[in-house]
Structure 1
Amino acid sequence: MKEVSRKIIDVTCALIIDDKRQLLATQRSSIMSLPLKWELPGGKMEPYEKPEQCLIREIKEELNIEIEITKSLAPNIHDYPFISIKLIPFICKCVSGEIELREHADFKWLNTSELLDLDWADADIPILNNYLKYLNAI
């Protein structure tokens, strides 16, 4: 029997780094898919958007902050039982605003030693591992 391939949804995510080199983690709300899992904030690309445009828009909508993208990292394709996503990560810094949770339950600033201690959404884990490898290489 031939397996039907599913459409892959392009999703951007931000590794937002503060002045102390901590990374912002956001916790999905209890009513979202993957309830209460931790994730890198971001969202689905619209058909007309470039990944960078999408990420800047999504972070403003979800967290009410303005970001500046400083570097892109390798994307990760992940198959959840209900959806397949291509997660497109960017390292960013906050340039203005105060975090206001509009969709998420919580947020934390984490040191690199704490990054893998949370219950992350599965698609984010390879992104975090790549980020840690990147930090060790610079």
Structure 2
Amino acid sequence: MNSITNEVTQVTCAIIIKGGKILAALRSRQMSESWKWEFPGGKIDEGETAEQCIQREIKEELAVTVSIKERLASVIHIYPDKTIELIPFICEIAEGSVCAVEHEKVSWFLPEELRELNWAGADKRIIQEVISKFQVKA
């Protein structure tokens, strides 16, 4: 029997869209899965909804206010030390300019460029859906 508990941590992430590009954040050396790309977000606090969480986390991590456009299907991802339920939201910037407060850097990518990045494990599970959803239809 392994030591992983059955507890699942709920984590939100924001797929922020602007001008046909999608924002990705590079995890810093102090973070787990350092030097991997992710959609910014974080753990849901007790008594907080997923929607409240993503808005709080994006304000803390990127210094912007986002408006939520759509909630995508969650994915469960098992890391060696924990299991998370990643809850993705499609968002747009409502106010402010993006600033990498906690990440090494943030960049904007075309949907088809996302495949080329070295993604954190859970985020990797939603990349194809994001690319399919936002590629320009001919």
TM-score band (shorter)?
over 0.9
State the TM-score, normalizing by the size of structure 2. Answer: 0.92
CA-atom RMSD, angstroms?
1.9
Instruction: Provide the residue aligned with 2:7 in structure 1.
Output: 7
Which residue of structure 1 aligns with residue 17 of structure 2? 17
One-letter code aligned to 2:97: E
Match of 2:46 in 1: 47
- SS of structure 2 residue aligned to 1:130: helix
What does residue 134 of structure 1 align with? 133
2:25 corresponds in structure 1 to 26
Kept in 1: contact 2:13–2:89 (CA 8 A): yes
> Which consecutive unaligned segments of at least 5 residues does structure 1 have?
none
Pairing of 1:1-138 with structure 2 (within 5 A): 5-18=5-18, 20-135=19-134
- Deviation for aligned residue 1:6: 2.5
- Secondary structure (helix, strand or coil) at the match of 2:35 reads coil
Segments of 4+ moved more than 6 angstroms: none
Q: 1:81 to 1:70 in 2, by over 3 A?
A: same
* Percent sequence identity over aligned pairs: 42
SS of the residue 1:103 aligns to: coil
Letter in 2 for 1:81: P
TM score, norm. by length of structure 1: 0.92
